[in-house]
Structure 1
Amino acid sequence: MNQSTEFRADGVAVMHLDGRLNMVTAAAFREEVAALVAGGHARIAVELTRVDFMDSSGLGALVGGLKSTRQAGGDLRIVAPSEQVLMVMKLTNLERVLSPVSSVDEAFPRG
């Protein structure tokens, strides 16, 4: 999995993931979220358009990131998940906890 992070002027960190969020890659995702939160970026949008596969380890990493950001006074939002990711989220009812949105601006409105 490839991941990159961009920082908006309003302090939101936007993580772009590409590939598979699974048992092999979940640890790297968790480490990046922890580093962002430690660096003062507790509002994180995770863009999942290019994630073609996610398993339970990936779900766990997202939930762990949500917990970390909320403990720091922020939030983690899911942006534009692929069909496979959305299906996994719906099957596990996590779309209720990690409500997906279609854009970063919808996740964290500017202003």
Structure 2
Amino acid sequence: MTQLTTTVRVASGYVRLALAGEIDLSSIDVLLKGQGEALAGAATQRLHGVVIDLDRVTFLDSTGIGALVGGFREASAAGLRYRVENPHGAVARVLDVTGVLPTLAP
């Protein structure tokens, strides 16, 4: 298992949360904390929204999918944009098979 790490930066009017590692039940708190802070930062700074960069994520289970969908809903309720970028391999496949890819990565 690879520990989940986060990196946050602001670019082009978005808070960008880059994730690296595996997203599962044991690491979901890291994702939820980072995503919550990114959403709060975007709202406070009056930015366009949040981008979740999955380029370095190697595994994503249903817990992670639920957290991403929850982040999308929270952003939408706050009038913010939310999108996932750079899913690939097994991560892209699971997002596609579950039907959330078109919503999260338009």
Q: TM-score, normalised by structure 1?
A: 0.80
Alignment partners' CA distance in 1, 2:5 and 2:27: 9
Runs in 1 of length 4+ with deviation above 4 angstroms?
A: none
Identity value in percent: 27
- Tell me, which stretches of 5 or more residues in structure 1 are unaligned? 101-111
Once the two structures are TM-superposed, the CA of residue 42 in structure 1 deviates from its matched residue by 6.1
- Tell me, which stretches of 5 or more residues in structure 2 are unaligned? none
Q: Which has the higher helix share?
A: 2
CA RMSD of aligned residues (A): 1.5
Aligned length: 99
Q: TM-score, normalised by structure 2?
A: 0.84
Q: Which of these residues, 17, 21, 34, is aligned with residue 36 of structure 2? A: 34
Alignment partners' CA distance in 2, 1:71 and 1:38: 12
Q: Which of these residues, 50, 55, 73, is aligned with residue 67 of structure 1? A: 73
Q: Please say which of residues 34-43 and 58-67 is displaced more in the overlay.
A: 34-43
Q: 1:17 is matched by which residue type in structure 2?
A: L
Contact 1:49 1:81 in 2 (8 A): yes
